[in-house]
Structure 1
Amino acid sequence: MLPTLETLGETLGGLDGRRILLRADFNVPLDADGHIADDFRIKAALPTIRWLTGQGAAVVACSHLGRPDGSPDPRYSLTPVRARLGELAPGVELLENLRFDPGETGDDDDFVQRLVEGCHGYVNDAFGASHRAHASIVGPPRHVPSAAGRLLAKEAEVLLGLRAKPKRPFLAVLGGAKVSDKLGVIDALLETADEVVIGGGMCFTFLAALGHSVGDSLLQPDQIEACGRLLGSGAPIRLPSDITALAPGERVVQAGVDLHPEWKGLDIGPGTAAEFSDLIAEAGTVLWNGPMGLFEDPRFAAGTKVVAQALAESRAFTVVGGGDSAAAVRQFGLDREMDHVSTGGGASLELIEQGDLPGLRALRESVGTPEEGHDG
């Protein structure tokens, strides 16, 4: 069991006047002018922040932004995030980008101790970063009593529930570009899911393993053998039956699963979208991770949009596994129709695959009394 905000309060004898370090995930997208393009991740931390401040705690938030490679870089400053956070949660302090210091990614204990200095407790609400054994994720629980924030606790409850007790039939819908990124999670899902359907760029390596010609589509030749083994095992995997492709001259064409050498498959076809939608309608639980095509281009957004609409209309318990899938449901205005939209793409996949994350493990093993911690 993860320690909760309530147990942290009990451990510290109340939070009034206590200084709490909050690891949030404010790794928001920025536009060309450096302005926040989507503040979803900032708003996702507000329930935890408001609970802590409501108990009288002084909250010091910290986060990474981008990949500044261990040194200060003005392109990755948290200044715009600090301004937005100040509007949404006045009085909350926000430290500068954690990754400006090489100690963050190296889990350097001197860096950890600087982070927790003056703090009585720690809360991790950065699910999207909790698959990283970085200093701000795994370090503070070694020094101060720690707990999971509301967002992190909910993510763990929902995603581990898919492994333990999904309402059946349990359907997994997987897409995205690279099959190499998903083979581990496919193996894990096949132990619990009743069927796994595969679209997106990764479907072409599976189709090639069956001997289909995939034209100029995305292909990982070094993964064909692994895909062939999975398909040959009798695993309940369903692949597209038709493809929307781009032909020379910028022509959009509909095809079966054998493509002309010069055609590039960029979306599942309408027949496949209808088949996947029918499966979603019959499911008791649906996990969706990865778009069905290049949805950022309106010409190749139909497959992803049809799947998203099917989830929105489904009576199943629907989970969107973060990353591009979460971006897609927000783009289509359907995010509020889902039962759970994860804030972490890589973290959600790793938790489903492994059943644990470094950040969760650190919380469970946290020091448990104020005397063991850093009184500041």
Structure 2
Amino acid sequence: MSSFKRLADAGDLTGKTALVRVDFNVPMENGLVTDDTRLRAAIDTVQTLRTQGAKVALLAHFGRPKGERVADMSLAPIAGAFAKVLGSNVSFIADCKGEHVKQAIADLDPAGVILLENTRFYAGEEKGDPELAKEIAALGDIYVNDAFSAAHRKHVSTAVLATLLPAYAGVNMEAELDALDKALGTPERPVLAVVGGAKVSSKIDLLKNLVTQVDSLAIGGGMANTFLAAQGISVGKSLCEHDLAETAREIMQVAKENNCNILLPVDVVVAKDFKAHAENRTCATDEVADDEMILDAGV
């Protein structure tokens, strides 16, 4: 992992534009950001690039619009929220490609910052469409990926752009890759990996690789429900990929063969409704009722 390029390798970027993939898929309520943690996480990368003289064009997704423009999934409200945490003006343009976007970037002040529209408004984004990638790449001089949480996806904004422009890891990506290298490249045993998220399907290869590298693998989030169900445990109406039960069992078998201990929740927080302040209880994983859903690991 030590071979990747860091922002320090980019040198003087005066007069250049950096296309920066960030993770701005933040919690929203009534058009307002309710948790700005991911916005704050992008500050170091943005400020580093500005210090090196670059204009910064931010690429991000929000929700699952499935290639269509969905008004309440626009990134427009997030531009103002990011400007607040950045302490500097952040422009917004409701598109990700075209001469009008290029002109908006050209009109930015030196070291200016602009947030482009939801990349997933374009069907080609999730398909890794090379033509869409060329159109977006035409907006910048370098590509920076700082969205570690989305880096496993072979989308235009998370993978294909890196093949068309000089590519660098952002500050957060750099820290994550260094941590992975320390844990998996030259580890000090024992090594525990923690994996979460909603889907096993998007992390099958990662999981199969991890169980051959680490001593213990803790699985949480919605993903844990699939592994629980694969062992015959009822998860009620929880988020669960029942069709991947066999895949989950295969991963558990590979783990066993490699002396990796898979850790799953032994108690969980459940509720009948997925909403704020819903009535809930904590129970053992084998006590989830048919009309309940697992919302968190227990205490």
Q: Which residue pairs with 1:294 in the alignment? A: 295
TM-score norm. by structure 1 comes to 0.56
**In the alignment, structure 1 residue 237 sits paired with structure 2 residue 261:** yes
| Pair 118,98 (structure 1): closer, same or farther in 2 beyond 3 Å | closer
1:253 CA displacement: 8.0
**In the alignment, structure 1 residue 54 sits paired with structure 2 residue 51:** yes
Q: Secondary structure at the match of 1:136?
A: coil
Aligned-partner Cα distance in 1 for 2:53–2:129: 31
* Aligned residue-pair number: 259
| Pair 170,48 (structure 1): closer, same or farther in 2 beyond 3 Å | same
Question: For 1:250-292, what per-residue CA distance to the aligned partner results, in whole angstroms no more than 9, with x for missing partners?
Answer: 996866x8x57x857x89xxxxxxxxxxxxxxxxxxxxxxxxx
Q: How does 1:234-313 map to 2 (within 5 A)?
A: 235-237=259-261, 243=267, 294-295=295-296, 302-303=298-299
Aligned-partner Cα distance in 2 for 1:63–1:188: 28
**In the alignment, structure 1 residue 149 sits paired with structure 2 residue 170:** yes
Q: Which residue pairs with 2:5 in the alignment? A: 3
Residue identity opposite 1:72 in structure 2: R
Residue identity opposite 1:158 in structure 2: A
Aligned-partner Cα distance in 2 for 1:179–1:72: 28
TM-score norm. by structure 2 comes to 0.69
1:45 CA displacement: 1.1
Q: Which residue pairs with 1:30 in the alignment? A: 28
Q: Is the 8 A contact 2:269 2:298 kept in 1?
A: no
| Pair 175,235 (structure 1): closer, same or farther in 2 beyond 3 Å | farther
Q: Gapped runs of 5+ residues in structure 1? A: 209-213, 268-292, 296-300, 304-376
Q: 1:204 aligns with which of 205, 214, 228?
A: 228
1:23 CA displacement: 1.8
Q: Which residue pairs with 2:108 in the alignment? A: none
Aligned-partner Cα distance in 2 for 1:70–1:253: 39
Q: How does 1:131-210 map to 2 (within 5 A)?
A: 131-172=152-193, 185-196=206-217, 200-202=224-226, 204-205=228-229, 207-208=231-232
Q: Is the 8 A contact 1:179 1:205 kept in 2?
A: no
Aligned-partner Cα distance in 2 for 1:244–1:51: 41
Q: Which residue pairs with 1:101 in the alignment? A: 122
Q: CA RMSD in A?
A: 3.9
Give the percent of matched residue pairs that are identical in Structure 1 and Structure 2: 32
**In the alignment, structure 1 residue 123 sits paired with structure 2 residue 117:** no
Q: 1:65 aligns with which of 62, 65, 88?
A: 62
**In the alignment, structure 1 residue 20 sits paired with structure 2 residue 18:** yes
Residue identity opposite 1:28 in structure 2: V
1:50 CA displacement: 0.4
Q: Secondary structure at the match of 2:33?
A: coil
| Pair 57,171 (structure 1): closer, same or farther in 2 beyond 3 Å | closer
Q: Gapped runs of 5+ residues in structure 2? A: 90-111, 272-278
The more displaced of 235-244 and 73-82 is: 235-244
Q: Is the 8 A contact 2:212 2:254 kept in 1?
A: no
